[in-house]
Chain A
Amino acid sequence: MTSHFRSIAEAGTERVRRLLDLTDHMAAVGRRPNPKVPALRGKTVCNLFFEDSTRTRMSFDLAAKRLSADTMTLAVSSSSVNKGESLRDTIETLDAMGVDAFVVRHRTSGVPWQVANWSPAAVVNAGDGWHAHPTQALLDAYTIRQRRGLTNDFTGLKIAIVGDIRHSRVARSTTEILLMLGAEVIHVAPRTLLPPTSHVPTTADLDEVIDEVDVLYMLRMQRERMGAGIVPDGGEYSRRFALDERRASALRGDALLMHPGPINRGVEMMVDPTELSQSTILDQVTNGIAARMAVLFDLLGSGEIEE
């Protein structure tokens, strides 16, 4: 049976822990003079991006290359999808070329599950609608583990996720993995940007929690949501939820400042995070490659024969 990596919940605790350990291994490979290994020679990874993405697409592409897999990348603007080819036809056509793994990004939730019905290849979810972004969750958890010198037990860590929780697949997947590892998560957002039901504590007052959190996780605020009636206008949102100088100085010295990127400077980020020692933003980018290597190696480098 082919296995996939489509959501944190589907992967389960045991696999998530194994993937974090594998990520640590891959991160060590990335620090070597020659960071490329022959592990997935002869395997083909197809990146299917039906939605704009720079860092996730490049990160998956580089991760596959570091493992010596061949990569193909289909960005929607250059594909036959624009000629009206259905998603199913696209998958079946590419599958006929011989693909071992599809990495799928799509604006509609659930597409990675559909793709798995049409192809025997392994499917990795690179973000589907508002639903899930599990490799982001993996790299976030690994970054916390690395910076705090932890193993896979986050008990006692308090993490605030700030921003548009409701429409964010990053918030959903990252919350899932953090709870799985034992952390305490609080969602900070205006009521209109919280999901209708929540299984973690919520607040609309960032200042109430900022000086006590171990991790401040800022989400990207999508400009198109502003002025659509669900968010106060830009200035009002920033005043209440952005990281400005006053809030940055309230952050504990040993806290971590995380952001999935790309940053909306002047919206959720009024300071230059590269000047804050707490920032892990570039670590997250670097660790993203290792996390995706771990996922691809786990799916394509695995077999049934015991030693």
Chain B
Amino acid sequence: MTQRKQVLGPDDVRRAVTRMAHEIIERNRGVDNVVVLGMQRGGVWLAQALGAEIARIASPVPIGTIDVSLHRDDVGLRPVTPGTSSDVPTDIQHSIVVLVDDVLFTGRTVRAALDAISDFGRPNAIQLAVLIDRGHRELPIRPDFIGKNLPTSSEEEVEVTAEGVTIIEEGVD
């Protein structure tokens, strides 16, 4: 039996995004130099949502996407699926890149994203924003902005949308 447990509702997600937007603005003393990049695919909607909040509170920032399928450390271990593209709308040289993903788990995708970003230029800094930090890191990577810390077991799945956050546990009957 599959168990689904909703841990955040739509209002919780909205409040978390607003708080993270404030934190990003505060940390960087404004957003003059900030570029928000959502990780394909789960981070894209969150980058849009964060960008919209930042625009509402301060001023609009460039929003883009980053695809890591050619930078992963498990190439050759998994089936190839046609990737999504990176879309970096502006020169990121000397900028502050806020890398956005929905869930931070092992950290391996973030590692790949750091490599992928450096192919586009050398930002002054890269910061990491995630809606859910579920632990189980396998690399020395930590987020700068967190929506919610969510202790999980590594067998569980975490499903994140703008409508909420759900823990899915594949149980045995």
Contact = CB atoms under 8 A, between A and B. Distances in A.
Interface string A186-226: 00000000000000000000000000000000000000000
8 contacts: A18-B81, A21-B82, A25-B82, A25-B83, A28-B85, A33-B120, A303-B78, A304-B79
A137 interface: no
A19 B97 CA distance: 32
B115 A306 contact: no
B85 A302 contact: no
B119 interface: yes
Nearest to A33: B120
Interface in A1-46: 18, 21-22, 24-25, 28-29, 32-34, 36-40
Given A297-B80, A302-B80, A40 B75 contact: yes
Contact of B76 (A28, A301, A307): A301
B101 to A, nearest CB: 15
Contact of B86 (A22, A28, A298, A300): A28
A25 B85 contact: yes
A300 B77 CA distance: 10
Given A22-B83, A37-B70, A303-B77, 9 more contacts: A18-B81, A24-B82, A25-B67, A25-B85, A32-B119, A34-B118, A38-B115, A301-B76, A302-B78
A67 B72 CA distance: 12
Contacts of A37: 70-71, 116, 119
Given A22-B82, A297-B70, A34 B119 contact: yes
Contacts of B84: 25
Interface in A262-306: 297-298, 300-306
Interface residues of A, number: 26
Interface in B56-96: 67, 69-72, 74-86, 88
What secondary structure prevails in chain B residues at the interface with A?
loop
Contacts of B69: 25, 39
Nearest to B91: A33
A117 B119 CA distance: 39
B119 A33 contact: yes
B76 A302 contact: yes
A25 B83 CA distance: 6
A183 to B, nearest CB: 21
Contacts of A28: 85-86
A42 to B, nearest CB: 9
Pick the 10 closest A-B CB pairs, nearest first. Answer: A21-B82, A37-B70, A34-B119, A28-B85, A303-B77, A39-B70, A302-B80, A25-B83, A22-B82, A301-B75
